Amino acid sequence: MAWITGPVRVAAQDAARRLALASSSCAAPAREVSITKATFPTGKTLMGITPYQSRNTSYSTFVPPLCYRSSGQRSLFHAQSTAASPRHRPRFASTLSAKDDNPFGRFSRVVPTSLKLGVDPPSVESLVPSHILRPHYALSGNPSEWAVGIPIHTAESIQGCREAGQLAKEILQLGGTLVKPGVSTEEIDRILHEAIVARNAYPSPLNYMGFPKSICTSVSNVIAHGIPDHRTLEDGDILNIDITVFLNGYHGDTSATFLVGNVDKAGRDLVERTKDALDEAIAICRPGVPFNQIGKTIQRIADKYGYTISQEFSGHGIGKEFHCLPLIFHHDNEDDGEMEAGMIFTIEPMFCQGSAVGVLWPDRWTVSTADGGRSAQWEHTILVTENGAERLTG
């Protein structure tokens, strides 16, 4: 489950980041910044949705504090966007134009089907047996405050992460067998939830900051954090399933993008090349390599094939905490810091066919591409070893 590293409001992104840079302490409270319709072109329509009907309609983006890496440089580590109810309701539809009219290929774009803001938190007590060890946020939904440094894992914690990673891999493989036209993502979530708890593990996304399901399912033009629902998969969709499990006190995180039925060449290429980018990024990881080389490697592949990269989400450290330092940016960047043996983190690039600008849905979790192009993601949790990197979820 990727960490949100930037606001996902169109045109508000740069302004919010500039404001975030003014913050100076990891303990500083988030500040609310009002972004009005005047920021956007009049009548701007995104993905067939007109999200703003009045120039006076305002939205709010919470700008996060900054956190320091061990080197001392500040790094933006989270931006959670929220939205006030618009005075004039946006027009949402459950389907968009016919597949033949889609400039990005033969697939159906998905759009919000509800104007309800936010989601109802899940009933963890009824969903997870009491004997299963739960992460600290399971009932409250509140994540931990981030530690200042990057953890260097002990042999014990490495083994714990390895076991959690292998279970996440197993659950993801099971999920892949369920992907077919006519199956809903909610059904996939139900089956995988049962498989996770049957193995005495907790599905890490469940009630993390209020997330209502046990996995993330992102269909076609959804970049990340899609919430499983009643929509059935269609021939030509691509589906990212993002799995994180909490086993014996440690998290393991992985994801893959699957083809649903007969996917066109443009869709197959997007999925394959995103996976290639992940593989090449992992191949360069070893002690002494700057973190920014991961993003530079991925960027070269995206540029080669004409894709864009979502900059709203990053890889992240993981272990006893679901998310921690380091942040791993998947685009060309000059972020500081170098890898050391014993570090564990995720790499999870997201390639987009067109624009990588994200639009946050009313549920405040799902982020889709602004132009309706498809997005693909692959993810592994890796351990930096003395000679390279081990795929803990591979």
Q: Return the SS3 of 16.
A: helix
| 338 labelled ligand-binding | no
| Nearest CA-CA partner of 232 in 271, 174, 276, 182 | 182
Residue 337 Ramachandran class (φ > 0 left, ψ -120 to 50 alpha, else beta):
left
φ/ψ of 323, rounded to 5, equals: -135, 135
| 120 labelled ligand-binding | no
Residue 153 carries which side chain, given as an amino acid letter? H
| 225 labelled ligand-binding | yes
| 348 labelled ligand-binding | yes
- Is residue 345 within 8 A of residue 253, CB to CB? The reply is no
**Helices marked H in 62-209:** 124-127, 155-178, 185-198
Which DSSP category does 355 fall into? -
Residue 108 carries which side chain, given as an amino acid letter? S
Residue 297 carries which side chain, given as an amino acid letter? T
**Token duo for residue 51:** 């999200």
| 316 labelled ligand-binding | yes
The neighbour count for residue 110, using CB atoms within 10 Å, is: 24
| Rounded Cα distance, 348 and 216, in Å | 14
The neighbour count for residue 182, using CB atoms within 10 Å, is: 11
In order of 150, 239, 280, 327, 343, the CA distances from 340 in angstroms are: 10, 34, 19, 14, 6
- Is residue 330 within 8 A of residue 315, CB to CB? The reply is yes
| Nearest CA-CA partner of 393 in 172, 197, 155, 152 | 172
Q: Which amino acids are annotated as binding site for a divalent metal cation, given as ranges?
A: 242, 253, 316, 348, 379
Known binding residues: 225, 242, 253, 316, 323, 348, 379
Residues comprising the binding site for substrate?
225, 323
